[in-house]
């Protein structure tokens, strides 16, 4: 529990420090939400998963408009805006699936939806950030 509290506190600090930039705020809020969802799964805490989902939705909504994405990407990455848009759309679908699976108490499927969310994030980050 101490580790979880430390992660949540550090995430909250990260959000407040970088809130001036839409992209950084979006990524920080989604980071916090993803960590909260994972912690919820690990600790069998549905309320924690649901709270994390709300944060991921909030972050995804901040950074799901093509004009916003293009504005915040570096000049040499603007042509990759469609990758970010596709990831955002994929996250929206995965969030809906995750919510539905939780309502149905299909926790393995819910975990698979969360896993696909991670894959969507990783694909965008690896492409746009040139990992």
CATH number of the domain to which 29 belongs: 1.20.120
Q: pLDDT exceeding 90 applies to what percent of the chain?
A: 60
d(CA 102, CA 97): 9
Q: What is the predicted pLDDT for the residue at 21?
A: 81
Tokens of 1: 């529990």
Q: What is the predicted pLDDT for the residue at 1?
A: 54
pLDDT per residue as tens digits for the range 42-63: 999 999 999 999 999 999 998 7
Which residue range(s) make up the domain with 38? 2-128
d(CA 46, CA 87): 25
d(CA 100, CA 92): 12
Q: What is the mean pLDDT of residues 78-84?
A: 90
pLDDT per residue as tens digits for the range 100-128: 999 999 999 999 999 999 999 999 999 88
pLDDT per residue as tens digits for the range 6-19: 545 555 555 444 33
This prediction has a pTM of: 0.80
Task: Count up the domains in the chain and report the number.
Answer: 1
Q: What is the predicted pLDDT for the residue at 17?
A: 44
Q: What is the predicted pLDDT for the residue at 11?
A: 54
């Amino acid at each position: 529990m101490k580790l979880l509290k430390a992660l949540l506190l550090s995430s909250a600090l990260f959000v407040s420090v970088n809130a001036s930039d839409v992209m950084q705020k979006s990524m920080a809020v989604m980071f916090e939400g993803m960590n909260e969802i994972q912690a919820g799964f690990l600790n069998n805490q549905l309320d924690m998963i649901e709270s994390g989902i709300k944060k991921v939705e909030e972050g995804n909504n901040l950074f799901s408009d093509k004009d916003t994405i293009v504005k915040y990407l570096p000049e040499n990455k603007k042509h990759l805006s469609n990758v970010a848009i596709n990831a955002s759309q994929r996250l929206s679908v995965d969030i809906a699936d995750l919510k539905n699976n939780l309502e149905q108490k299909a926790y393995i499927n819910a975990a698979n939806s969360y896993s696909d969310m991670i894959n969507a994030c990783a694909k965008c980050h690896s492409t746009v950030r040139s990992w």
